[in-house]
Amino acid sequence: MLVLGIETSCDETGVALVEGGRRVRSNVLADQQTLHARYGGVVPEVASRAHVDLLHPAVEQACALGGARLSDVDAVAVTIGPGLAGSLLVGVAAAKAYALALDRPLLGVNHLVAHVYANVLDHGTLPLPAVVFVVSGGHTSLLAMDEGGTFRGLGQTIDDAAGEAYDKVARVLGLGYPGGPVVDRLAREGDPAAVRFPRALLDDGSDDFSFSGLKTAVLRHVRAAGPEVNVADVAASFQEAVVDVQISKVVGVAKREGLDTILLGGGVAANSRLRARLAAEAERLGLRLLIPSPALCTDNGAMVACAGSFALERGEHTPLDVGADPNLHIVPGFGRRAPRRAKRRG
Ligand code: KG4
Ligand code: ZN
């Protein structure tokens, strides 16, 4: 089975060919970062237009690199949500056209589910049941996944996603966009104990996250320090606060739910500090930890093809009249943006 995977939910045009659900024949990424960098973040209309220009050449390149013709493709998988409406629409419309022209099944894939399946491409398997932690620019979702692949929502961010916090802090520090990789790199030269930033909801007993107060604390610190600010120390201290909370919540859930496997996914799972510290903690506690290689943590077409292959194996097909759903939930209440909670009174 050769599956074409198309990912256009945000600012990466990703197209891949995956064979048998596991073997990546090609994985093309048409990077839009230089287009968005001067705005300091993703501009949705710029992203949609770029997808229109980049998508078909990326499909041709994926075929050429994968040594296949489009007619060799057995199914077309595409991210149908969550994500930016215009960006998703470009991928979904194109995938429908390919599926129709080739007379092959269409497989609509949830972006968060694709991030989880990226593990299969690197590790060959998805050991279940497991705790699942999807951390990216749009989501911080803690879930349980049962043997049948069904998700149960446990916790999520009540304000900013983890990746959003990295991007905003990078902007405050003048490091450009996207912020995660730069903060990660710079933090290696800094002292993670230099500034004690807040660890929100660390011991609140919930499985939820909050990063907006941390971002504000960084902003205040940078303003107060003025030109004397040690950027590497701030980056390392901010990152340490994020990772402390992430590890505490993920490990806490694994213990409470009696699950000995942890699956990570999403762009922030590429973070070297999170990977190293969680690996050490998992080893100490005898937990199995799977994280995709950094290149498969961030958005790509291969993870979509992989998730689509598993759906195909289960006999699932998506009707050609499916729409893009910017707010598609992985389980009810777990979508791209967490609902803002009303402040408690009294
Ligand atoms: O999964 P992804 O590529 O796109 C979304 O689905 O949002 O995640 C992108 C996010 C960005 O916020 C980026 O700054 C962050 O992942 N990111 C990182 C690292 N690499 C990417 N954050 C922390 N450390 C990294 N090494
Ligand atoms: Zn993503």
What is the domain class of 127-292 according to CATH? alpha beta
Which ligand is closest in space to the CA of residue 243? 1
What is the residue type of 2?
L
Q: 12: which DSSP letter?
A: E
**Which tokens belong to 300?**
């790509």
Closest ligand 1 atom to Cα of 137: 7
Measured in Å, residue 136 CA sits from the centre of ligand 2 at: 6
**Which tokens belong to 109?**
């894939």
- In this prediction, residue 336 carries a pLDDT of 52
Residue range(s) in the chain whose domain bears CATH number 3.30.420.40: 2-115+296-313, 127-292
> Can you list the pairs that 329-335 forms with residues at least 24 positions away whose Cβ atoms lie under 8 Å?
329/82, 330/110, 330/112, 330/113, 330/134, 330/141, 330/143, 330/151, 330/153, 331/143, 331/151, 331/152, 331/153, 332/153, 333/153, 334/112, 334/141, 334/143, 334/151, 334/153, 334/156, 335/82
**Nearest C-alpha neighbor of 24 from the set 276, 295, 241:** 295
Q: 6: which DSSP letter?
A: E
Contact 148, 122 (CB under 8 A): no
The tens place of each residue's pLDDT in the chain, 346 residues long, gives 999 999 999 999 999 999 999 999 999 999 888 888 888 888 999 999 999 999 999 999 999 999 999 999 999 999 999 999 999 999 999 999 999 999 999 999 999 999 999 999 999 999 999 999 999 999 999 999 999 999 999 999 999 999 999 999 999 999 988 899 999 999 999 999 999 999 999 999 999 999 999 999 999 999 999 999 999 999 999 999 999 999 999 999 999 999 999 999 999 999 999 999 999 999 999 999 999 999 999 999 999 999 999 999 999 999 999 999 999 999 988 765 543 333 333 3
- In this prediction, residue 332 carries a pLDDT of 86
- In this prediction, residue 340 carries a pLDDT of 39
Measured in Å, residue 297 CA sits from the centre of ligand 2 at: 8
- In this prediction, residue 339 carries a pLDDT of 38
Measured in Å, residue 271 CA sits from the centre of ligand 1 at: 8
Pocket lining: 178 vs ligand 1, CB cutoff 6 Å:
yes
- The number of angstroms, rounded, from the C-alpha of 23 to the middle of its chain's C-alpha atoms is 21
What is the residue type of 270?
A
Superfamily of domain 2-115+296-313: ATPase, nucleotide binding domain (3.30.420.40)
- Distance, in Å, from the CA atom of 88 to the CA atom of 80, rounded to the nearest integer, reads 6
Query: Which neighbouring-strand residues pair with 58?
Result: none
- In this prediction, residue 72 carries a pLDDT of 98
Its pTM surpasses 0.85: yes
- In this prediction, residue 25 carries a pLDDT of 98
Q: 179-187 and 272-285 are packed helices; what angle lies between their axes, rounded to 10 degrees?
A: 70
174 phi-psi bin (left φ>0, alpha ψ -120 to 50, beta other) = left
Pocket lining: 141 vs ligand 1, CB cutoff 6 Å:
no
- In this prediction, residue 334 carries a pLDDT of 78
DSSP states along 105-153: -EEEEEHHHHHHHHHHHHHS---SSEEEEEESSS-EEEEEE-TTS-EEE
- In this prediction, residue 295 carries a pLDDT of 97
